[in-house]
Amino acid sequence: MKAVVVQQGETEPTVVEIDEPTPDPGEALLRTLRVGIDGTDHEVIEGNHGGFPDGDDYQVLGHEAVAVVADANGTDLNEGQLVVPTVRRPREEGNEYFERGEPDMAPDGQYVERGIVGAHGYMAEYFTSAPRYLVPVPDAFAESGFLVEPISNTEKALEHAHATRSAFEWTPETGLVLGNGPLGLLTLAMLEGGRTDFSRTYCLGRRDRPDPTIDIIERLGATYVDSRETPVSVISEVHEPMDFVYEATGYAKHAFETVHALRSNGVGALLGIPEDWTFEIDGGALHRELVLQNKALFGSVNSNVRHYEAAIDSLSAFPDWLVDDLVTGVHEPAAAPAAFETNDETIKTVVEFDTV
Amino acid sequence: MKAVVVQQGETEPTVVEIDEPTPDPGEALLRTLRVGIDGTDHEVIEGNHGGFPDGDDYQVLGHEAVAVVADANGTDLNEGQLVVPTVRRPREEGNEYFERGEPDMAPDGQYVERGIVGAHGYMAEYFTSAPRYLVPVPDAFAESGFLVEPISNTEKALEHAHATRSAFEWTPETGLVLGNGPLGLLTLAMLEGGRTDFSRTYCLGRRDRPDPTIDIIERLGATYVDSRETPVSVISEVHEPMDFVYEATGYAKHAFETVHALRSNGVGALLGIPEDWTFEIDGGALHRELVLQNKALFGSVNSNVRHYEAAIDSLSAFPDWLVDDLVTGVHEPAAAPAAFETNDETIKTVVEFDTV
């Protein structure tokens, strides 16, 4: 079968022929429909993140997938059922975090991540998985279901944001998303009409008009903030202080500038994964502002089945045009490397292995 | 009556004679027993924090008090009842945060703080207060009740720490207190035998043995960490990673070093109030560590009546020797300035206006 992989020593994806996998007892065989590409895939290809499965000199890419149960193989799945696979798998059976349904909170070293670190991903015609790592999705999700995984990461961040502020009455009105990549735009759509009803939302980017991401931002009812004119550090003065800031840029200074962008009692969620970078901050002012204004900052990575289930609801509630406008490229497996190329018109690209 | 004040243009406390206050309708008259001194008082005296009440050229100091109802003045308080006053008062009636019992979450500008900013404190023979700002305490608290206020600040921080981690199963085992001042030691006592059962606790200071704070740390069953030998940045390697870090030093670098001192899924509470201070950090590594390890950091200031009530329970549960060992100086009002002087033997000092 065709698979899109990165090979040892290379920093470009290639399409290879590998054997179709055989499900172990307790595993099902899944026929892949679509696999989305995100920044993590680029980092995996460039060797900045993750690591190959033990003993292999290549890694099948892809962690944002939607698939169909091809062979239930004795599990209680229904053949033909649409599913979205989760990403993390335990390194050893009996891991307490996985056992209690919180693989997203497992410390580094206790898990592999399919398509990212230590395990093959989903960018192939078929893959296998135990049913507990597959989340059933509606039949209508054959084309859009690959978005459940990225959305689930924001579901987790939103859940943690609310938890962080749950010791007092917190009614957020203003939300700022840092980053106008696919995850930023999906998150913005969630803040605009999601379970948390933000009255006013903002999205930071660094693009000139006309630009398809700015079009989406404005069509969602949010305000576009050009970071070249209005850096994060002045947003609270130029626009207004934010009850919630969601960082999806991986730009390390944003983590610290977020503190000042927040209103009193606000919370910032960090999701980007920057490289080392030493720079100066006014740490005294930041520390003081956190304390005197009861502000909070947390990091969030990955998600669990509960967040996938919430993501299904969020994706179902999105306006019809959103997924169409987000998905700027659908590529055949043979042309998969083209799906990794980006230009000013690229927002989200997918590799489509099959349709229902 | 005698009052301990800081006067305009001065940076030392003085004892003055001022008129005994007359309670307004709806207010009671309180006879002060003891008032504790903390770092904030020193900042107020030095002019670094707070501000004088409108129209006055002096401020009565003190925000950690225990008092007796001297004249109920038609309120439903009982004369002779022991009470601890809260610190914040609304600038205007009808403030939403005060109305719902969360003055601690009110944004800057919406409150004054008695003894700190814009309102006279409790370091006088008498003061007045509306009953809703007075928390009844047991009769046994005549000597120790002034500790309810500082303890309540930690109750709030602990409540927020648990809230921050409430979206998943969090069972903290290791706790680190940064700072061996009175607030640090009280917090350490709360982690050692409080509602959160920390198995192993640590307290950071920079004192040579023999030292009375190190004695208290070890008598509480905690490990003393000398920051000159083991900076915060290496504690997780030299000792172990911490599920919870409580910063009570006001040393801005600690806010950032705390991130690395935390275990995966851990949370750091910041309570110190540093001045501006620009320095270098590896912001990329900090940001990445927050994200990939699901770490959180929050600031916490002040407390509300619920936290005072929890503090009463905590203070009641302390070992008998603790308050005796903490209080290293009890001073008469006439000698109050001496209570503000510190040396290596000083931990917590109080001004005693009266006894029951």
Co-location of B99 and B216 in the same domain: no
Point out the residue among B252, B292, B294 whose CB comes nearest to the CB of A284: B252
Q: Does A143 touch chain B (CB under 8 A)?
A: no
User: Tokens 């600031």, residue?
Assistant: B299
A154 touches chain B (CB under 8 A): no
- Same-domain check for residues B168 and B294: yes
Tokens 């090979």, located at residue:
A7
Query: Per-residue pLDDT tens for B257-283?
Result: 999 999 999 999 999 999 999 999 999
Distance from CA of A297 to the nearest CA of B (A): 5
Q: Output helix, strand, coil percentages for chain A, rounded to the nearest 5.
A: 30, 30, 40
**Per residue in A58-108, pLDDT tens?**
999 999 999 999 999 999 999 999 999 999 999 999 999 999 999 999 999
Cβ density class A196-211: b for 16+ within 10 Å, e for less: bebebbbbbbebeeeb
Residue B105 and residue A263: Cβ atoms within 8 Å?
Answer: no
pLDDT in tens, B1-30: 999 999 999 999 999 999 999 999 999 999
**Could you report the predicted ipTM of this complex, rounded to two decimals?**
0.97
Does residue B331 sit within a domain? Answer: yes
Residues A294 and B301: their CA atoms lie apart, in Å, by 6
Same domain, A77 and A187: no
| Cα distance between residue A246 and residue A329, in whole Å | 26
Are B113 and B184 members of one domain? no
Q: Would you say residue A200 lies in a domain?
A: yes
Short-list A77, A234, A258, CA closest to A161: A258
User: pLDDT tens for residues A145-164?
Assistant: 999 999 999 999 999 999 99
Neighbouring C-alpha atoms within 13 Å toward the C-beta of A73: 18
Percent of chain A predicted with pLDDT > 90: 94
- Is residue B187 domain-shared with residue B85, that is, in the same domain? no
Weakest mean pLDDT among A188-202, A219-233, A276-290: A188-202
A180 is in an annotated binding site: yes
Whether residues B160 and B286 fall in one domain: yes
Tell me: the pLDDT tens digits for A116-149?
999 999 999 999 999 999 999 999 999 999 999 9
Average pLDDT of chain B?
96
The per-residue pLDDT for B344 is: 86
Q: What is the pLDDT of residue B48?
A: 66
Residue owning tokens 């998943």: B168
Residues B235 and B346 in one domain: no
- The residues that bridge with A3 in the sheet, in sequence order, are A16, A124
CATH number of the domain enclosing B39: 3.90.180.10
Model confidence pLDDT, tens digit, residues A288-319: 999 999 999 999 999 999 999 999 999 999 99
> Are residue B156 and residue B295 in the same domain, yes or no?
yes
Task: Indicate whether B300 pLDDT > 80.
Answer: yes
Q: Is A200 annotated as a binding residue?
A: no
Query: Is B302 annotated as ligand-binding?
Result: yes
Domain assignment present for residue A312? The answer is: no
Last residue of a domain, one of A299, A327, A343: A299
What is the domain extent for residue B34? 2-136+319-352
Q: Is A282 on the interface with B (CB under 8 A)?
A: yes
Mutate to test the interface with B, among A171, A236, A288 (most CBs of B within 10 A): A288
Distances (CA, A) of B208 to A16, A47, B107, B140, B204: 66, 48, 40, 35, 12
- Which residues on adjacent β-strands are paired with residue A30? A69, A127
- A181 labelled binding-site residue: yes
Contacts of B164 in chain A (CB under 8 A): 160, 163-164, 296, 298
Within this chain, do residues A23 and A132 fall inside the same structural domain, yes or no? yes
Structural domains of chain B, count? 2
Chain A contact probe: residue of B102, B168, B253, B300 with most A CBs at under 10 A: B168
pLDDT band (50, 70, 90) for residue A50:
low
Does residue B52 sit in the same domain as residue B22?
yes
pLDDT band of A197, cuts 50, 70, 90: confident
Q: Is the pLDDT of residue B197 over 90?
A: no
One domain for residues B169 and B105: no
Q: What is the mean pLDDT of residues B53-71?
A: 96
pLDDT of residue A269: 98
Do A10 and A58 lie in one domain? The reply is yes
B279–A283 C-beta distance less than 8 A: yes
pLDDT band (50, 70, 90) for residue A344:
confident
> Where do the DSSP E strands lie in B37-188?
58-60, 64-71, 82-85, 88-90, 111-114, 118-119, 126-129, 134-136, 174-178
B262 lies in some domain: yes
In a domain, A120, yes or no: yes
Instruction: Determine if residue B229 is labeled as part of a ligand binding site.
Output: no
Residue A48's pLDDT band, with cuts at 50, 70 and 90, is: low
Distance CA A237, CA A260 (A): 10
Determine, yes or no, domain membership for B257: yes
Of the candidates B169, B108, B264, the residue with the CA atom closest to the CA atom of residue A263: B108
B132 interface with A at CB cutoff 8 Å: no
CATH number of the CATH domain containing A162: 3.40.50.720
> Does B97 map to a domain?
yes
pLDDT of residue A49 exceeding 70, the answer is no
Band (pLDDT 50/70/90 cuts) for residue A215 is very high
| Cβ–Cβ contact A95 with B under 8 A | no
Residue A307 resides in a domain? no
Under 8 Å between Cβ of B82 and B138? yes
Lowest mean pLDDT of B125-129, B191-195, B296-300, name the range.
B191-195
